[in-house]
Amino acid sequence: MLSQTAEYALRAVFYLAERPERVPVRVNDVAEALDVPQNYLSKILHVLAREGVLVSLRGPHGGFRLAVEPERLQLIDIVSHFDELTLGRRCVLGRPKCSDANPCGAHVRWKPVAAQISAFFRETSVADALESAHAMGHSAAGAEVPLHPVAGYAQTPEDGATGSVARSP
């Protein structure tokens, strides 16, 4: 359903959200914890920082951290920078033109499924995903990290921070 890039982006954001101390985490630490290629992940995290999902800090205590509280960060805000999930953008069978007026063989049955998938990403926050995973005793990121509640996430401005809040309140 999602590209590998979008999957890595989600997992990295979940990992950062699950960190109890909310301090910047270096790319190599995230890559190692998630067992993903460091250079590939670095590019993904820089896109997310440029788009205001993460904050990137340079220097000896630098790394990446969330720019937005998990409760205010929808999954679509993460994956939309890597995958197109809007209804009607792509034909499930790969046809260049597929619409209600010019449907493929799967269009009628795929359209409501695609709408549900799109709604899931628009309506589900990072906090929702973490809560569901933690309720089952799992890490949402698929990594071994201490689990903790995401409520009360406090964002503290630091010198050298780049990135901005992705969504307005």
pLDDT computed for residue 86 by the predictor: 60
Greater pLDDT, 144 or 21? 21
Q: What pLDDT is attached to residue 84? A: 79
Helix (H) or strand (E) holding 66: strand 63-66
The 10s digit of each residue's pLDDT in 30-89 is: 999 999 999 999 999 999 999 999 999 998 889 999 999 999 999 999 999 998 776 445
| Residue 68 contacts residue 168 (beta carbons within 8 Å) | no
User: Considering Cα of 118, then 122, then 123, then 124, what sign does the dihedral take?
Assistant: positive
**Are 44 and 79 in contact, with CB atoms under 8 Å apart?**
no
Domains of the chain with bracketed CATH: 4-84+125-135 (1.10.10.10)
Mean model confidence pLDDT for the chain? 83
Give pLDDT, residue 114.
85
User: Which string of b and e fits 68-97 if b means at least 16 CB within 10 Å?
Assistant: bbbbbbbbbbbbbbbbebeeeeebeeeeee
- Asked whether the predicted pLDDT for residue 27 surpasses 80, the reply is yes
pLDDT at site 162: 42
pLDDT cut 90: percent of the chain above it? 56
> pLDDT-derived band of residue 144, with 50, 70 and 90 as boundaries?
low
CA distance 159 to 142: 31
The rounded distance, in Å, linking the Cα atoms of 107 and 88 is 9
Tokens standing for residue 88: 């009607």
At residue 168, the pLDDT reads 34
CA distances from 79 to 44, 105, 165 (A): 11, 28, 16
Average pLDDT over residues 26-31: 96
Separation of CA 100 from chain center: 31
Q: Give per-residue pLDDT as tens, 112-127.
A: 988 898 899 999 999 9
Positive or negative, the Cα torsion across 34, 35, 37, 38? positive
CB atoms within 10 A of CB 154: 6
Going by C-alpha positions, the residue among 169, 10, 165 that lies closest to residue 80 is 10
